[in-house]
Structure 1
Amino acid sequence: MAEMNTNTSNHHGKPRSKKLSTRVDMTPMVDLGFLLITFFMLTTTMAQPKTIDLIMPAEGKSMPVPESKALTVLLTGDNRIAYYEGDGSNADAAVNLQYTTYSTQTGIGDVIRKKQQRVADKYGDADQLIVLIKADEKANYSNVVNVMDEMLINRVARYAIVDITDNDQGFLHPMP
C-alpha cells in the first residue's frame, strides 16, 4: 500500500517547508507478476513433436516396378546422395549413377521433379513415379529424414525405404 509521511518537526524555531515522502509497496505487483507467469506457463502449449507418417507395405509377395517409373536414391556417408533411373533389379543392365546434393536449386528435389515430369509425359500422371530410397550403413538418420522431406515437398505419392542390395553397394563403393 502507499503511505505518506508528514513529519513537521520544527528545528531551531524556523518554519520549514513541508516535505512529503512517498513509499510504494511493490509486494502486490510482484504477486500479480508471479500469478501471470504461472498462469501462462500452465496454459501454454509446449512444442509438439515433429513426426513423419510412414505407411509400411503389407507383408507378402513384392510387386514389380517398371524401370521407366522408378527412381532409386542411394544414401551413404558424408551426406552423399547418388541416384539412377530404374529399380536396379536387373544386375546385367548398365546403371547411369549420378551424384547430387540437398541443394534447393540443383539437388535431389530437382532430380525428383524432372523425373516426375518425364513420368507424367509418358504415363499421363506424375503420381505414377515410384522412388526407392536405399541407405547403406554409413548413411545417417538425418539423410533419410531429409530425403523423406523431399518426398513430401515434391508430393511424391509412392516411395519406399528398401534394403540396399549388393549391386547398389558395388555402385557406391567400387573396388579399386
Structure 2
Amino acid sequence: MKNLPQKIRSKKLNSRVDLTAMVSVSFLLIIFFMLVGELSKPKALDLSMPERHCDDKFDCVITCGTDTRRIITVLLDDNNKIITYSGLLFNPLEDPKKVSYGNNGIRKILLEKSNTIREHSAAIGKPKYGPIVIIKPSKKCNFKNLVDILDEMAIAKIDTYAIVPEYTPEESKLLASK
C-alpha cells in the first residue's frame, strides 16, 4: 500500500484565560470603594450656638454656650499689657486683673482656669467641654502680642478660642483704668 498522506491534525490550543488583569482591576475597584465609603461618612462637630442674655443695665450680650463659667476674656493692649477676666464683664466670676506674658503670667492663669473648667465639665457629665477664650486685641496692640497669646493657647491646650476685634465701651473703660 501506498503511503497515504496522513491527515494533519490541528493543534488544540489551551483555552485558558489570563485573569491577571481582571484581578488587578478588582483590587483597584475594592480599594476605590473602600476609600469612597470612608470619605463619604458624615463628620459631626459639636456646635455651641450663642444665646442672648439681656440685663436692664446693659444691652443684650451674646454668650457662647450655656455656661458662662467657661468664658475667659483676654484683652490685649499696647506695651505688652494683658487684662483678663472670667465670665461676663457685667457679672464677672472674679475681678479683672492685669497680667504679663510668660510662665507665671497668662500661661499660669490659662492652665489653672482650663483645669478648673474641665474638672467642672467632667463633673456635670460633659467631659469634652473646655474653656472658651475670647481674645480682644486693641488697635494699639502689636502683632507680636497676638502671636504670643495664640502660642499660649497652644501651650495651654485650649481648643476653642476666638479673636474679636471689637471692644465694648465697658472694656475700653477697663483698659483705660488699669
Determine helix, strand or coil for the equivalent of 1:68.
helix
Are 2:76 and 1:78 equivalent residues in the alignment? no
Q: In the alignment, which residue of structure 2 is the partner of 1:116?
A: 114
Structure 2, unpaired ranges of 5+:
1-48, 52-62
Q: In the alignment, which residue of structure 2 is the partner of 1:99?
A: 98
Determine helix, strand or coil for the equivalent of 2:157.
coil
Are 2:72 and 1:68 equivalent residues in the alignment? no
* Alignment check: 8 A CA contact 1:70 1:132 kept: yes
Are 2:161 and 1:159 equivalent residues in the alignment? yes
Q: In the alignment, which residue of structure 1 is the partner of 2:140?
A: 138
C-alpha separation in 2, matches of 1:98 and 1:117: 19
* Alignment check: 8 A CA contact 1:119 1:126 kept: no
* Alignment check: 8 A CA contact 1:74 1:82 kept: yes
Over residues 21-61 of structure 1, what are the superposed CA-to-partner deviations in whole Å (9 max), with x where a residue is unaligned?
xxxxxxxxxxxxxxxxxxxxxxxxxxxxxxxxxxxxxxxx8
C-alpha separation in 1, matches of 2:75 and 2:128: 21
| Identical-pair percentage | 27
How many residues in Structure 1 have an aligned counterpart in Structure 2? 111
Determine helix, strand or coil for the equivalent of 1:103.
coil
TM-score, L = length of structure 1: 0.57
Report the CA distance between 1:126 and its aligned residue: 6.7
Are 2:173 and 1:170 equivalent residues in the alignment? yes
Structure 1, unpaired ranges of 5+:
1-60
Q: What is the letter of the counterpart of residue 98 of structure 2?
A: Y
Report the CA distance between 1:67 and its aligned residue: 1.7
Where do 4+ consecutive residues of structure 1 move more than 6 Å? none
Distance change in 2, residues 1:111/1:150 (3 Å):
same
* Alignment check: 8 A CA contact 2:72 2:87 kept: yes
TM-score, L = length of structure 2: 0.57
